[in-house]
């Protein structure tokens, strides 16, 4: 089993869990949980593969859908959704964001994309699943929260790509990207870190 497959499995499981939890908060049935979990888990990777002109990763490997279904069933059995479910969802999303951003950048580089494209693919892969989840669950989008989000994905993907180009090797580069992306997002959640917002001038 390759490092990319392991990263993809973990990323899909984490994002699927956040999607299933969002569905559980809305009181959906098991099919509803699986549907939202699958879209959250595979949405970003699907978009990445289409842009790169590659076979969509889950079409010929249904194990990814199986992971989403298994995670959904686990959430369905265990939930009673905890009272602090929003906090749980945010932390699952933070972990998923880090893993998916690195996995997206890694796959792009593995198939010959230049570094800048690989970083962009990491960010697109990392953020799209959460956006789909929030839109379909009728929740405020993670992209519209004040805390740093896209920047964390950008940092994780960039650190991974730079580390690979510096010759540090895939394992070290992957860990570095994961720590950087998750660390920044964790800091944003704990300390409320944010970047200056745009201010439109008054007419």
Under a CB-based contact definition with an 8 Å cutoff, are residues 8 and 14 in contact? no
At 85-117, the pLDDT tens digits run 667 778 888 888 898 899 899 999 999 899 999
At 1-24, the pLDDT tens digits run 576 677 778 888 888 888 888 888
Locate 74 and state its tokens: 């686990």
Q: Of the candidates 62, 61, 11, 17, which has an alpha carbon nearest to the alpha carbon of residue 37?
A: 17
pTM comes to 0.84
Under a CB-based contact definition with an 8 Å cutoff, are residues 76 and 24 in contact? yes
Residues in the chain predicted with pLDDT less than 50, given as ranges, are: none
């Amino acid at each position: 089993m390759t490092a990319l497959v392991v990263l993809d499995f973990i990323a899909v499981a984490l994002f699927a869990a956040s999607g299933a939890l969002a569905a559980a908060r809305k009181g959906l049935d098991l099919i509803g949980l699986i549907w939202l979990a699958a879209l959250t888990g595979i949405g970003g990777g699907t978009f990445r593969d289409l842009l790169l002109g590659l076979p969509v990763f889950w079409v010929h490997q249904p194990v990814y859908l199986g992971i989403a279904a298994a995670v959904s069933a686990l959430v369905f059995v265990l939930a009673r959704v905890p009272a602090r479910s929003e906090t749980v969802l945010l932390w699952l999303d933070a972990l998923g964001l880090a893993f998916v951003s690195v996995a997206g950048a890694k796959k792009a580089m593995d198939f010959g994309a230049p570094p800048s494209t690989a970083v962009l693919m990491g960010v697109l892969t990392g953020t799209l699943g959460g956006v789909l989840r929030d839109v379909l669950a009728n929740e405020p989008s993670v992209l519209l929260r004040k805390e740093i989000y896209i920047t964390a994905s950008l940092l994780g993907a960039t650190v991974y790509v730079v580390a690979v180009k510096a010759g540090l090797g895939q394992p070290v580069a992957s860990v570095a990207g994961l720590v950087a992306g998750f660390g920044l997002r964790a800091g944003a959640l704990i300390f409320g870190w944010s970047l200056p917002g745009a201010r439109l001038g008054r007419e």
